[in-house]
Amino acid sequence: MKMEIERELIKSASDSIEKGSLISMDGYSISDVKEWVTSGCWVLDKITGGGIPVGRIVEIFGDEATGKSSLGFSILGEFQKRNYITIMIDTETSYDTNRVKVFGVDPKRVLYSQLQTIEGVFTLMETLMEKTRKQKNKKKKKLLILWDSIPATSVKEELEGEFGNRYYGIHANMIAQGFRKIKRYLTWEGVTLVLINQERPNIGVMFGPKYTTFGGKAVPFYASIRIRLSSVDKIEENKKIIGIRVKAMKVKNKVFPPFRSCKFILNFNTGFDNISSAIDYLVEQESLEKKLGWITYKGKKYRNNEMQKYFKEHTDQLVSHLFPKEEASKSKLLVD
C-alpha cells in the first residue's frame, strides 16, 4: 500500500511538473560520487578521499607561487588520460605549452579559451554543458573545465567603465548567478569544474580566518572540495632553487572528512615528487618509523635517500602502503 502511494506521488509530480522531478531513491542518489580521478599528487589524493570527484566543483586557492596553476595542469593531464574533454579557461594567461607537458598534458587535446568577462565564462560553460547533455551517444564524453583564475576575470561593466569607478559586489553577484545556472549540469552530466582562486588578507578580523578569497560566498558555498595551498620552503640543489614544498589544507569537503592536511614537493622541471612526498607523509603519520635519520621498513633500516631509491624500484609497495585497497580502487591511481 505504501509503495503504491509513493508511485502515485511520483507519477503525479512527473505529469504536473516534468519527468524526473520526483524519484524513488532505492538506496541510490544522483548526487553520489560515482567516479574519482587522481590529481597526480598521491598525498593530496589521500587527504581528499580519492582525488578529484567527478561531477563536482573543486576550488584551489592560496597565496602567489604556491603551485595552484601547476596542480590545475596536473588535474588537466590526469583527466585527459581518462579520455575526458578538457577545457582551459585562461583569464590569467598562466597556460604555457612547455610547462603543461611537465604534468602530462597533451596540448593538442586542450580546448583553450581566453575570455575576459565572468559573463562570457559562464555563458561558455553553459553552452558546452548543454551541448554535452544533448549528445545521444551512450558513451558520450564528459567534461573537465579548469578556470584559471577567478580574480583575473572581470565583468563587462567594469571593462567598459572608466578608471576609478567602483563596482561593489558586482563580481560576487555575477558569480553567484552563474553557479545557479550551471549547477544542474554538474552531477547530472558528469561535468567537473576546477577553480583557481587567490587568497587575500581579511582586514580588520580579530577572530576566525585571517584570509578571504575573491568572488564572495558563492564559490565556497558551491564547491564540494576547497584546498588551501601555502608555501612551506624552497627546495635547493647546487645552490639553485628547483622546487617548493607546499602544504595543502582541505578546508572543506562534502564527500570525505574535512580539515586534513599534507605536504608535497613540487619540482619545477619534473612535477610532483610523489615518492619523497609519500615517504614524508607516512613518517609524519607514524606509518613508517623514523629514528635518528633511519627509516624502518619491513624490519630493515634505510637512510632517506636509500628509502627513496627502494620505493622507486618498488612503487607498488609504496602505493599499497599509502592507500588501502578500497582507496586505491576508488581513485584508480595509475602508476607507471
**Which tens digit of pLDDT belongs to each residue from 169-181?**
899 999 999 999 9
Q: Quick: pLDDT tens for 37-92.
A: 999 999 999 999 999 999 999 999 999 999 999 999 999 999 999 999 999 999 99
pLDDT of residue 296: 94
Q: Say which DSSP state 107 is in.
A: G
Query: Is 58 in a helix, a strand, or coil?
Result: strand
Weakest mean pLDDT among 187-191, 269-273, 283-287: 187-191
Same domain as 149, residue 55: yes
Averaged pLDDT, 155-164:
89
Same domain as 200, residue 83: yes
Same domain as 242, residue 212: yes
Q: Contact at 8 Å (CB) between 193 and 145?
A: yes
Grid cell digits, residue 267:
619540482
Asked, for residue 235, whether it belongs to a domain, the answer is yes
Same domain as 315, residue 213: no
pLDDT of residue 334: 45
Q: Contact at 8 Å (CB) between 185 and 130?
A: yes
What CATH number does residue 104 fall under?
3.40.50.300
Task: Identify the CA nearest to 74 among candidates 245, 297, 272.
Answer: 272
Q: How far apart are CA 335 and CA 276, in angstroms?
A: 15
Q: Contact at 8 Å (CB) between 213 and 228?
A: no
Asked, for residue 9, whether it belongs to a domain, the answer is no
What residues form DSSP beta bridges with 52?
Answer: 37
In the listed set 226, 247, 272, which residue is the last one of a domain according to the structure? Answer: 272
Same domain as 264, residue 194: yes
Grid cell digits, residue 16:
504536473
Same domain as 206, residue 250: yes
In the numeric block, the cell 581528499 is attached to 48
Asked, for residue 6, whether it belongs to a domain, the answer is no
Grid cell digits, residue 234:
624552497
Asked, for residue 105, whether it belongs to a domain, the answer is yes
Same domain as 252, residue 205: yes
In the listed set 221, 248, 272, which residue is the last one of a domain according to the structure? Answer: 272
Same domain as 314, residue 233: no
pLDDT of residue 299: 92
Same domain as 207, residue 97: yes
Q: How far apart are CA 259 and CA 261, in angstroms?
A: 7
Range(s) of the domain holding residue 61:
30-272
Same domain as 298, residue 200: no
* HSE of 22, CA atoms in CB hemisphere, 13 A: 12
27 dihedral zone (left: phi>0; alpha: psi -120 to 50; beta): left
Q: How far apart are CA 213 and CA 19, in angstroms?
A: 39
Asked, for residue 278, whether it belongs to a domain, the answer is no
Asked, for residue 12, whether it belongs to a domain, the answer is no
Asked, for residue 45, whether it belongs to a domain, the answer is yes
Q: Quick: pLDDT tens for 289-320.
A: 999 999 999 999 999 999 999 999 999 999 99
Q: Contact at 8 Å (CB) between 220 and 213?
A: yes
Name, in order, each residue with C-beta under 8 angstroms of 156's C-beta and a sequence gap of 6 or more. 117, 119, 120
Same domain as 44, residue 98: yes
- The full DSSP string for 60-125 is EEESTTSSHHHHHHHHHHHHHHTT-EEEEE-TT----HHHHHTTT--GGGEEEE---BHHHHHHHH
Q: How far apart are CA 107 and CA 98, in angstroms?
A: 9
Asked, for residue 165, whether it belongs to a domain, the answer is yes
Q: How far apart are CA 184 and CA 199, in angstroms?
A: 28
Phi, psi values for residue 108, rounded to 5°: -70, -20
**Count of domains observed in the chain:** 2
Stated pTM of the model: 0.91
CB atoms within 10 A of CB 114: 12
Q: How confident is the model at residue 333 (pLDDT cuts 50, 70, 90)?
A: low
Q: Terminus-to-terminus CA distance in the chain, angstroms? A: 56
Same domain as 288, residue 266: no
Query: Is 189 in a helix, a strand, or coil?
Result: helix
